[in-house]
Structure 1
């Protein structure tokens, strides 16, 4: 497929956006607030500065102060504005200003004596509120990654306890491993809506990091507001909901002919009208070198063994996607009411099966996303407050899987002799539609100070229909549907911000329609079932002073099989198993957060957590000898014990260092082989294909006024470590089934300049020392790679 039209199209789009942004920037005014303590003049960080028009009280902008106590807000025009500043432990400040040109205000805050003995949670930022929850949660802000070429999956890979399982380069399947649990045990949400129904064209592995404001990782017990069925935890990607006008555009070029473009534009009018567009594309040849131990020599039809380095030759990938939202904000009937549309397309060449023993030279898949969305949020003045939110989407997309080659290929890219029947894996021209829907309704009532009651319900639907041009299969003419509904009710009590506890109950409903033989034979027929399950739990946290927080949580949880586990991937690389049973688990979590230093200049945070899981009917994904296909099955009982620890130090907002380490011991507790009294050889053996010891380290420095006054130089270093693990049961004692220990190093350097540092150029190198990196079933990942990026950011 010719790449030039794509590159030309996005280059023209970038030029248009740049011209619009440069024109708009000439009219912007800025208001800089310097917030300090009135008694000693110390700059106050994390103070919330909000600017509203004096006439009409419409929100004009808002920001948090940095370590220097400064917050700069871009305003669209001159006029009279009301400026309010709030910070935990201080009296709220409010004043007015007649803005005729850019100005700087000095604001001195007075200590609120009434709040010294308690924590006023309402004064915290959204990030700080999440960090104070009783759940074992970690957060990461994405600002420092926006100048890199990272996608959301790569950013998540830096979080304590998280490991992204990705078997290749750009566009390869990405699963999240959390606390030792694989991706399908961990639910991923965007603003509380499950991503399970979105096509691969809109996946973690190709969404730019700039889409998110922060990422919340719940390890183990999950609040009911994230109404999914999860055993290992949940990840919530929170987008930026601030009301402002902005244009962000970027383009990057890197190794393996990789191109990435992202344009985000947003406008909010004084009357509350809001429109935003986020468009991005990714392209890569993915022709990096890999190491193999054998290949087929077609000249004499023999297998040649050794250690060979070859280049991937059939792994090209590209996708284009756009997210449009239109609606209103700050209205009497809605804080946010947005109608949206997500459209995307993906083309992916398939280089190999679920492991690298099977190589392809012509297989490919395509997928499209056509998904309308709805967002509604409103806070009502009922009692102490009533919050209502509704989010939903439905994907009308379609997919195509093609396997039509009349020969086989080897890892050298050589074409073998023609075969009697076409197809490298199986002759396929399969057109299918995976219709996915998701909706989440959450209601929170605050009847009295310190008390809240929440109700949440999440519905996800899946149906597949399709037709193969090459063959007629019975299952194509029969239903493949699943409907999952997870509802929860919780009560929370908060005692003066010192101690809070949540108790909750959850109900899971699972409806399934499939074409199968329930006895595992060949007597296929239409089967339909509806099951209901109950779970629940408790989460509590206690604060000792301002620098120590303790957490304890327990949950009896269910995890319902995903549509991919039940019905397969559609391209025949992974086959479904509609007889899978839900997993159940007793989850216990204990966590502690310590802040031994917490001043404007020095901030040190240490987090540690222990987890215990007792799981029944554990679902494990495996590869088999059927030409490298993968499938899932229930493996009985599994016990997991482990923990993770992280620390992070920042100095004066310009220097930071951090590290995290995780260890999890997951073992099979099935003493006997299924249906027999024979002792299982896997009893108390470690669960294979799961990294169990890994960690990250990072350091960065931000330097102002380098070479030119008003500039900012950022240098960010990252190191990743994964200990060796087996991808088959240890009892086989075969080193060839082992993924070796891996250590990789990355570095990113960015330089921002311009009147408001609106221009940024950056360069990065991943896997600096060109180490051999693997994942999943010893799937090799790219070696050393370079990328360069240019970006423009305009805000007012």
Structure 2
């Protein structure tokens, strides 16, 4: 038995014996369906949003009730939160990357009601998730609670779906620039005998035919000289995605808060317009995928005894990259050459690469109250992906390592002990985590040598992490927090196995390891007419073997790589003010100093970029928004609201800042954007109509390697919400 299997067996046994249920000892269990949190002592009279924000962790909560009726996108909402930077490579459906306090990529994990989203593919990702089905979004920065059973080294984002006790239906539709359409439908029906049916679904489509210009967007004249100053429309960047999640089961029984059978299905197709930079433009490359995932969930929460949450899912994901064009295009959509495929530049060969992922995910969370002041909790998750691939054309050399089977197994186990003292003012938590993975990937010689060989590559690793968090609640309006964690993160499927087109596999990746420290203070004030408050948090990260998507190569592809040592430090400041019910003002500022701390290169030479700022990462970000509300704008028939917001990102270099001439280096310029919108609500807020404009002045917007994002975007949105008690 190898070490990985031994660790898994040990952890399963520990998870089994950590808590004995009351019914196992013949004791009666008193049902309590009012508690919402597995690991916090219930705070009477406080909303769930308040309870989450008062946990020992560095956490922000976005209450979606405050922005209901607007044309919402999760990426855009979270990009406005302090400490978070959402970087996209284009318009709707493009690749995106989250960064929290300098750590980014797969260091940030996404969850839906505590279930990892990583195995659900692009069609059911956070950017396509139906916002109408959500109640709130929780953002944990750095240290993450154990019930989010993943190795989230940089932070976690947990989407909390609506738990309305009443029956409802919520439908919305929006239309916008670049031939963009978005529709969402969600609802719930519960019979008096506890039979419950829930549905959430969304459809998204966009041509993404916005204009691009500037460096790397160049078309040569008849003499081969680039034509300067012209703008060109993207033309192979359309995106279409549909997803649906349906659940049926029993809710609200003494023996179960929920026992639900679920089914997730999604389909997605899109054009691949560019490589890792806009210097590579493709006119015929396509990508599509389909997902089918049945699941089962059981949940019973009882803060005075045993709480249990079990989830299991079997996913089947199929995807295909089609590169069969015989023509090479430029940005003017002219055919400039005859080729054999477009991907991979000079080594392009036609391909129709297909892969199939089989994913198994099991999650168990449990907690047990040892009285009013002590709580034990445990969690365990297991995730295995088996990938098989094929290329019917079998001519493209780059697909060779993807055709043979690859697999990845990961587990995370955690235990925590929480105490509450001083009349619930002082809460502390100690926890320990174990991470492990084993993988089979393939190595292939891309270097053009005479001997090209495909070699299976086997790897495994196991690491432990530990942490501590505490908070002191002076009163309802003031608290301080401190949390610490020494942790690790195993490589995930995309990092190790690639994505089947522009991201190559990286068999030699090592796990990330990091020491994280967070501290913060929050205060709020109010009088009869005004409410205001602030939250200040400071962070420190010392990271080793950071997994980072490398720069694009000469063939338009890239792969993930390790950066040996990285240190980041900084802080967030968020402020809010409200005047009666007609004015709300919010602002946030983030500063992060992320530096390379590797003193020597692999050859032993002194690194010339030691202590340099991290490349391709901003240091200063800010945003703000003011909302004006006009109740009963047209008599008593409806309410009118108006908002205006702004986003600021200080410019940064794509490569190491200390190398080269700053005047000629590639740089993401400083960005300062404005957004505005108008919303009308009527029929007791059941019907909402909104008109919005993002990037009002149509400024050029970049995120990654000069991959330009859309300019001015105008949209109209209608939403109807009907509920019945």
Q: TM-score, normalization: structure 1? A: 0.82
Match of 2:533 among 578, 583, 605: 605
Match of 2:484 in 1: 554
Q: CA deviation at 1:307?
A: 3.0
Partners of 2:220 and 2:226 within 8 A in 1: no
Q: Which aligned pairs between 1:403-414 and structure 2 lie closer than 5 A?
A: 403-414=323-334
2:260 aligned with 1:334:
no
Superposition map of 1:241-640 within 5 A: 241-293=163-215, 300=222, 302-380=224-302, 384-419=304-339, 421-425=340-344, 426=348, 427-471=350-394, 475-476=401-402, 478-495=404-421, 496-516=423-443, 524-571=454-501, 573-595=502-524, 597-598=525-526, 601-640=529-568
* Secondary structure at 1:685 match in 2: coil
CA distance in 2, matches of 1:292, 1:527: 42
The correspondence of residues 686-697 of structure 1 with structure 2, limited to 5 A, is 686-697=613-624
Partner of 1:699: 626
Q: CA deviation at 1:599?
A: 5.0
- SS of the aligned residue for 1:184 comes to helix
Deviates more, 1:692-701 or 1:467-476: 467-476
Matched, 1:753 2:679: no
Within a 5 Å distance, the mapping from 1:672-751 to structure 2 comes to: 672-676=600-604, 678-730=605-657, 731-734=659-662, 735-751=664-680
SS in structure 2 at match of 1:308: coil
Instruction: Provide, for residues 601-621 of structure 1, a one-character-per-residue CA deviation record: whole Å limited to 9, x for no partner.
Output: 432221111111111112221
The 3-state SS of whatever aligns with 1:144 is helix
Gaps of at least 5 residues in structure 1 are: 1-57, 63-118
Aligned to 1:212: 134
Correspondence for 1:51? none
Give how far 1:219 is off: 0.9
SS at match of 1:201: coil
With over 3 angstroms needed to count, the CA separation of the structure-2 counterparts of 1:209 and 1:748, relative to structure 1, is: farther
Larger radius of gyration: 1
Once the two structures are TM-superposed, the CA of residue 413 in structure 1 deviates from its matched residue by: 1.0
Aligned CA-pair RMSD: 2.4
Residue aligning to 1:39: none
Q: Partners in 2 of 1:306 and 1:159 — Cα distance?
A: 38
TM-score normalised by L of structure 2: 0.89
SS in 2 for 1:721: strand
Query: Secondary structure of the residue that 2:215 maps to in structure 1?
Result: strand
Question: Post-superposition shift, 1:438?
Answer: 2.9
**Structure 2 matches for 1:112-261, cutoff 5 A?**
121-261=43-183
Contact 1:253 1:789 (8 Å CA) reproduced: yes
- Residues 451-477 of structure 1 show CA distances to partners (whole Å, capped at 9, x for unaligned) of 111001122222211111121765345
Measure, in 2, the Cα distance between the counterparts of 1:690 and 1:184.
Answer: 16
Are 1:765 and 2:693 an aligned pair?
yes
Tell me the alpha carbon deviations over residues 541-575 of structure 1, each in whole angstroms, 9 at most, x when there is no partner. 1122332211111110101112111111112x111
1:434 positional shift: 2.4
Q: Distance in 1 between matches of 2:457 and 2:173?
A: 50
**8 Å contact 1:143–1:210 — kept in the other structure?**
no
Could you tell me how far apart the structure 2 residues matched to 1:264 and 1:441 are?
27
Displacement of 1:235 in angstroms is: 1.0
Count of aligned positions: 676
Whole-angstrom CA distance in 2 between matches of 1:296 and 1:249:
43
Q: CA deviation at 1:181?
A: 1.5
Counterpart CA distance in 1 for 2:528 and 2:315 is: 47
**What are the ranges of 5 or more consecutive residues in structure 2 without an aligned counterpart?**
1-30, 35-40
CA distance in 2, matches of 1:423, 1:614: 41
CA 1:757/1:133 → structure 2, altered by over 3 Å: closer, same or farther?
closer
After superposition, where does 1:79-118 map in structure 2 within 5 Å?
none
Native 8 Å contact 1:665 1:686 kept in 2: yes
Residues of 1 paired with 2:317 and 2:580: CA distance?
Answer: 49
Closer/same/farther in 2, CA of residues 405 and 533 from structure 1, 3 Å limit: same
Structure with bigger RCO (C-alpha 8 Å, 6+ apart)? 2
Residue number in structure 2 paired with 1:788: 716
